[in-house]
Amino acid sequence: MLARREPLEDVEAVSRLRAYVAEKGLKSGARLPAERELTDQLGMTRNTLRKALESLEREGTIWRHVGKGTFVSGPADNPELAGTLLSGTLLSEISQQITPFRMMRARFAIEPAIAKEAAINASSAALTHMKVAMERTRSASSWQAYEVEDDIFHRAIAEASDNLLLLALHDQLNLVRRAVAWGNVKRQNAKPPADHSSFIEHERIAEAICARDPHAAYEAMSNHLHSVSKRLFGGT
- Any domain includes 202: yes
Give the pLDDT band of residue 9 (cuts 50, 70, 90): low
Instruction: Read off the pLDDT of residues 193-231 as tens digits, 9 standing for 90 and up.
Output: 999 999 999 999 999 999 999 999 999 999 999 999 988
pLDDT of residue 1: 41
Instruction: Read off the pLDDT of residues 153-173 as tens digits, 9 standing for 90 and up.
Output: 999 999 999 998 998 888 888
pLDDT of residue 54: 86
CATH number at residue 36: 1.10.10.10
Does residue 149 register a pLDDT over 70?
Answer: yes
Same domain, 71 and 169: no
**Domain membership of residue 116 as a residue range:** 86-233
CATH number at residue 204: 1.20.120.530
Mapping DSSP onto H, E and C, the string for the chain reads CCCCCCCCCHHHHHHHHHHHHHHCCCCCCCECCCHHHHHHHHCCCHHHHHHHHHHHHHHCCEEEECCCEEEECCHHHCHHHHCCCCCHHHHHHHHHHCCHHHHHHHHHHHHHHHHHHHHHHCCHHHHHHHHHHHHHHHCCCCHHHHHHHHHHHHHHHHHHCCCHHHHHHHHHHHHHHHHCCCCCCCCCCCCCCCCCHHHHHHHHHHHHHHCCCHHHHHHHHHHHHHHHHHHHHCCC
- Number of domains present in the structure of the chain: 2
28-37, 128-137, 210-219, 225-234: which is most confident: 210-219
- Any domain includes 218: yes
Does residue 235 register a pLDDT over 60?
Answer: no
Q: Of 80, 99, 117, which residue sits at a domain end?
A: 80
- Calculate mean pLDDT across residues 15-20: 82
Q: Which of 9-23, 175-189, 220-234 has the lowest mean pLDDT?
A: 175-189
Q: Of 51, 80, 109, which residue sits at a domain end?
A: 80
Instruction: Read off the pLDDT of residues 35-89 as tens digits, 9 standing for 90 and up.
Output: 999 998 888 899 999 988 988 877 677 887 767 888 887 544 444 444 445 555 5
Give the pLDDT band of residue 114 (cuts 50, 70, 90): very high
Q: Of 80, 109, 138, which residue sits at a domain end?
A: 80
- Calculate mean pLDDT across residues 175-202: 80
Percent of the chain scoring above 90 in pLDDT? 37
Same domain, 28 and 45: yes
